Amino acid sequence: MTSKQRAYLKSLASNITPIFQVGKASLTPELVTAVDEALEKRELIKLSVLKNCFDDPGEIAQTMAERTRASVVHVIGKKIVLYRPNKKDPKIQLPD
């Protein structure tokens, strides 16, 4: 992913609210499955890491991206943005 594409996805993500919260249990199999399904439908999602989660948000983002075959767009503070294009019907057109 190029820096231009990443910047475009960041601008799209600034308007969306987090749809998942990572809590004390950190990355559970149920959360990974739910994020995977959400990526299939939305392509771009935002997660929020709660204060009671003691894991590093950067590590959580990397692990979640590996398990869902997504790309980490960015991690700012306790917010994580992930992107995975839909193979059949992509909704987001990335700039070249």
> What CATH number should be reported for the domain holding residue 32?
3.30.110.60
Distance CA 94, CA 56 (A): 29
Q: Is residue 24 part of a domain?
A: yes
Number of domains present in the structure of the chain: 1
- The answer as to whether 14 is a domain residue is yes
Residue spans of beta strands (DSSP E) within 1-96: 20-22, 44-49, 71-76, 79-83
Residue 26 pLDDT: 84
Q: Find residue 46's DSSP bridge partners.
A: 81
From the CB of residue 61, how many other CB atoms can be counted at a distance below 10 Å?
A: 22
Tokens of 33: 């499955």
Residue with tokens 């749809």: 19
**Per-residue pLDDT, 60:** 93
Where the chain has pLDDT below 50, the residues are none
Domain span at residue 77 reads: 3-83
For residue 90, being part of any structural domain is answered with no
